Amino acid sequence: MLSLYRRAVLGVAGIGPVERWSRRHGWRLGARRFVAGESIDDALPSLRTLIDQGRSLVVDVLGEYVSQRAAAESMAAGVRTTIEALARAGLPPVLSIKPTQLGLAFDADLAAELAADLALHAEAADGRVCLDMEDHRFVDGTLELLRRLHRAGARRSSTVLQAYLHRTPADLEALLADAPSGSELRIVKGAYHETADVALQDVAAIRRTYLALCERAWQLGAKVNVATHDDGIIREATAFVRGAGLERDRYELQLLYGVRPKLQQRLVDDGHPVRLYVPVGADWYGYFSRRLAERPANAAVVLRGILG
């Protein structure tokens, strides 16, 4: 049922008139719940509050699927500005970057050039970048982009694997075989509308695969960033951490800004390392749509805004 709900929401979100209406009104109706600000300067007060509450942060400058070099360079400039603003504010510049916002969809060399500049700039300020994973068409390109960053000297760079893709167990093995020692890896369920030939459709099967990926990554020596709000996955993953005697530097629980704040606080209070994925920027529609598709409770935020 949840899978059907997700497909329905993503399908509706892609309808032209719905998208245009949502872009005009969505910020007022609920997008601000999930996006910290339309610019890094707008977001900084919220970021400082989160740090004071015991959370770490990974900032996502929103944008994806650009199709021209000028647009990719503009997106890269915005990410660079964000790195510098975070560093000036005394906040570690840890950023999540979508490869298609740097031009991966049309020029892999351009994406590698821009990504390397950003990754090295972040690492020079004691930060790092994570290459976010997009729909299945870009998995190979993203994994190769990560390898190119490592070869360019940005050894702290990381990426994301999506549990629902059939290919992911093999990708995990290949990725960690090539990665620098002690690399980190974010694991998510997956939030794109993928067909059955590409991705698991059954929620229980996705959960089982997710936990198997976490355990295998820990066995291979990686730091695993468990990125989910699924109580069962969090419970099983933290039980594995305790049972295996893993130190705090071998895992993080990563959650989304604006989603289940009581769970976030409980995990902090229980002593777990918690990092929030915090989106920033004006190009928020695609991200916002995927958040609505994840849980009916998220869609209720928009409904309350419409009804006043």
- Please list the pLDDT of the chain residue by residue as tens digits (308 residues): 546 645 654 554 455 664 554 555 455 556 677 888 889 999 999 999 999 999 999 999 988 789 999 999 999 999 999 999 999 999 999 999 999 999 999 999 999 999 999 999 999 999 999 999 999 999 999 999 999 999 999 999 999 999 999 999 999 999 999 999 889 999 999 988 899 999 999 999 999 999 999 999 999 999 999 999 999 999 999 999 999 999 999 999 999 998 899 999 999 999 999 999 999 987 666 666 666 666 555 555 444 443 33
- CA atoms 177, 139, 135, 92: torsion sign: positive
Best CA proximity match to 72, nearest among 105, 39, 94: 105
The alpha carbon of 238 is separated from its chain's Cα centroid by a whole number of angstroms, namely 20
- What pTM, to 2 d.p., does this model score? 0.85
Residues with catalytic roles? 132, 186
| CA separation for the pair 61, 294 (Å, rounded) | 20
Domain layout of the chain by residue ranges:
1-35+291-308, 36-283
| CA separation for the pair 13, 20 (Å, rounded) | 10
| CA separation for the pair 190, 175 (Å, rounded) | 18
pLDDT for residue 284: 63
- Pairing state between β 94-97 and 158-162: unpaired
pLDDT for residue 258: 87
| CA separation for the pair 82, 278 (Å, rounded) | 12
Q: Which of the four CATH numbers 2.40.110.10, 1.10.1280.10, 3.10.450.350, 3.20.20.220 does domain 36-283 have? A: 3.20.20.220
pLDDT for residue 302: 47
Best CA proximity match to 283, nearest among 104, 74, 94: 74
